Amino acid sequence: MAEAHEKTKVVLGTATPGGGFPAYGWPYAEVLNETDATLAIEPINTKGSTENAPRLERGDLDLGLATGEVTYEAISGIGGPKAKNLRIINATYSQAGMFMVRADSPYRSISDLKGKPVVWGAGTSGFIVLARYVMDGLGVHFKKDFEAILLEKAGDGPPLVLDGRAAAMWGGGVGWPPFTAIAKGPAGARFIAPSADEIKRITAKHSFLKQTTMPAGSYPGQSGPVNSVGSWPFVLARASLPDDVAYRLARALHKGHASLSRKLDQAKESTLENTLAAAPNRDLIHPGVLKYMREIGLVR
**What's the mean pLDDT when you consider all of the chain?**
95
- Domain of residue 223: give its range: 96-231
Question: Which of 25 and 126 is assigned the larger pLDDT?
Answer: 25
pLDDT in tens, 211-237: 988 989 999 999 999 999 998 999 999
Reported confidence tier of residue 268, pLDDT bands at 50, 70, 90 = very high
**What gap in Å lies between CA 123 and CA 128, rounded to an integer?**
7
Q: Which of 231, 253, 268 is the last residue before a domain boundary?
A: 231
- Are 231 and 127 a contacting pair, CB within 8 Å? no
Strand partners, 172: 97
Q: Do 227 and 100 share a domain, yes or no? A: yes
| C-alpha pair distances (Å), 190 with each of 15, 20, 129, 211, 261 | 25, 19, 23, 19, 25
Q: Do 115 and 187 share a domain, yes or no? A: yes
Reported confidence tier of residue 124, pLDDT bands at 50, 70, 90 = confident
Pairing, β 8-13 against β 63-66: parallel
**What gap in Å lies between CA 247 and CA 285, rounded to an integer?**
11
Residue 5: predicted pLDDT: 58
Q: Do 202 and 105 share a domain, yes or no? A: yes
Q: The domain that contains 120 carries what CATH number? A: 3.40.190.10
Q: Is residue 220 part of a domain?
A: yes
pLDDT in tens, 153-186: 999 999 999 999 999 999 998 889 999 999 999 9
Residue 123 pLDDT greater than 90, yes or no: no
